[in-house]
A and B are shown apart, each in its own frame.
Chain A
Amino acid sequence: MMDRKPVEVEEDEIDIKKWLYNIYHYKYIILLFVVLFTLASSYYAYFLPNVYRATASVKVGLDEDAYAKDVVSMAMGKGAVNSATEKDLIKSRYLSELALQNVDFRQHYYTTINFKEIELYKSAPFEVNMTKGYGISFELFTIDHEQYRLYVDDLILPSGIVLDYDQVHHYDEEVKTDTFTLKVMRKEKIPQKQYRFVIDEKRRSFGHVIATQNIENSTILQLSVEDTVPLRAQEYVNALAEAYVKQNVENKTREAVQRLSFIENQLQNISKSIKISASNLEAFRKESKIVDVEHISETVATRLDSYESDLMDVLLKEEMLNSFYRQLKESKHIETLSIEGIEDKESVLSELMQKLQNAVVERKELREDYTNLHPLVMKLNRKISQLKSSIINSTKNLIANNKRKKELLIKSIEKQRETFNTLPENARKYSQLERKFKMNEELSSYLMKRKSEAEMIKASTVSKNRMLDRALLPHTAVKPKRESIVIIGVLLGFVFGILVVILIILLDTKIKDENDISQITSYPVLGLIPHFDNDEESWKGKVKVFEAVKSAVAESFRHLRSNLQFVQKKEGSQVILLTSTVGQEGKTTISVNLGAIMSLAKKRTVVINLDMRKPTLHERFDLPNQIGLSELINGRANLKDVIQNTRYPYLDIISSGAIPPNPSELIQSDTMYEILDALKQEYEMIILDTPPIGLVTDAKELMHYVDINIYIVRAEYSKKEFLENLKKFDHIEKIPNLGIVLNDVKRKKGHYGYYAGYGDGYYDEKKRK
């Protein structure tokens, strides 16, 4: 009747349900992870500093020339601004350095409020002046309004010196040591007990700079700075916006400034010369008492005068040319050089310069879209270098021309001088001096005119950019989003918890319930024995089924008895063999209780201990183990002597007897079968407690002899591989009539539990006793 049906499992549905149930079983582990992750994320979110954002806006002016030439930007309309360039400029280190000239963020003051360290910046109640000891973190403990304690804990300085400092000082007193020099100045009443401060040596920027546009192609840029200190964010963004506006003016006036400095330099020299020549003239006049010059000398002098004035021009031009040439050679930015004062009417220089400047501008525009290797850019590069060499060549030519002119003039002057020298000395000398003076004066007024021109250019240049809104002091933090962090923490904890539980389930190799058995094998599950009596000692002298006849345990054995009757193949005495894989799976306990439930049904039963290595059967009935099975097989005792009556009717046992040296041989001997045949005459139920087949295969032969084989598996103890091995064993041995009993099934709660709340009916031994 023990037919082995193919296992029919509705894979999908049952699997999902089973998984969900198994996961639910570990709900406290999941809860633990959720709680842990929530705590961790809350902790993290709490200590994450507040970030404030200050925003200023600037209007970006348009470069008229640039857009006029650019068809694309014209097509985009007048408002088009190359926003990427401006945004990059705002974020550049260059602009940051410009801004930092106006703000000083070197001082850092901290205090701890609600376990959280916050930076105070200007709201700190004291200020520190430092000349030495930058970068060291000092702790300041307030004592009273006069004194404070300065403390540095074992700090290793970059120089290798260990700084350990703890001294009381007065406010406004200069503290001077080898490693630092500072002065703490109290600004107001100091509310907190403890502060910390660090002073940086160099100015550096703080916060994260963001530049955005509200609408694409808008000429208004929003400058934002995100910082943990709201005031510092505000100050820095304003400084940045100002620097942004200012740098544009500076670029534009650079040319005028350069020219102005050159003219001023020249003017200085000239005014010196004027002074000297004026005083020379005066002295001479006093000394020689000359009031007028002779008429003859006048024409010569006038001619000489004009020659020398020409020479002066030539010399000035030479100097300017040389200076231009030098700059030409040195400077990279040729396009910004001034050709003021050196250009000739017939010279092509100004035209070349114009071309070069155009070329450079064009290249700049192209470079925004293409790399250096783009053919257009390369073509332009070639053009630029050609233009450059043309300019250098024509400058060279100009210099050479000028030199020839100078030589010619010097020759003419010398000729005139020779004529002049023939004039009376005094008159000649006087007119010489007078001429020099006049010449200097003329030059000076020329330069003055140019100077004021340059100054006008400089002064009249305005920035194409302008400030729209200055930043306001931010009051609420934009970051961090603490709620989101905590929510993410909760979700992560949940996901992580489920992953861990899935891992636990996957790594669990133990058999848990009937479903585990039916998934591995198709052997019938003859019984499920609930968990009882943890303590091994308490088993001694006690049989649970007799102790609690109406208990769930007794009821489970009754069920086993019914099932055994169902699977028996023939009428008459039944020999039932119990075995397991290893020890501790409950073989003896089940043998004894099965015997008990059989005897309660008034079936003459004998339980025989074949596990001679581990003789414990007799202990359950408080009986001796003087002689038993081993003596019987050896022929040293006869059957009547070894059968021990228990104090229960219908139940007898045969204990193992003395441990023999060869237990395997004894069990496998022919005598064993003779004994069993003899016992069948006397008893209806013969229960054999045999050694675990996972350890020794003593009972292998007997398994073919007996009527029913029961294989015991203990829940949460026996491994799934035990059943796999049993299948292999059965495949080779072809064990007849094999069934499984699952022992030690724990009470489980929930929908799938077998024993949840069991006993609220009438089988509970406690309620009705």
Chain B
Amino acid sequence: MHIATVVPISQTVGANRIVPAVAIPYPLGDPKLSREEEYKQRRKIVETALRAVSTHIDTQTVFEVK
């Protein structure tokens, strides 16, 4: 699975399971949040990515972080 901020680039290069990230300099974090909040957010993204890799797909799919 590809965790990427710029989803259209990920789609262009041909990733199949795509998870949108937070920002270019901190795809899995956010320095504006507290340490705990930031960890929670990172965990959500990782969990979404693991859900993506456990899901059957036939074509390129973007898995939104809930």
Q: Tell me, yes or no, whether A binds B.
A: no
Q: Which residues of B contact A (CB under 8 A)?
A: none
Q: Which residues of A contact B (CB under 8 A)?
A: none
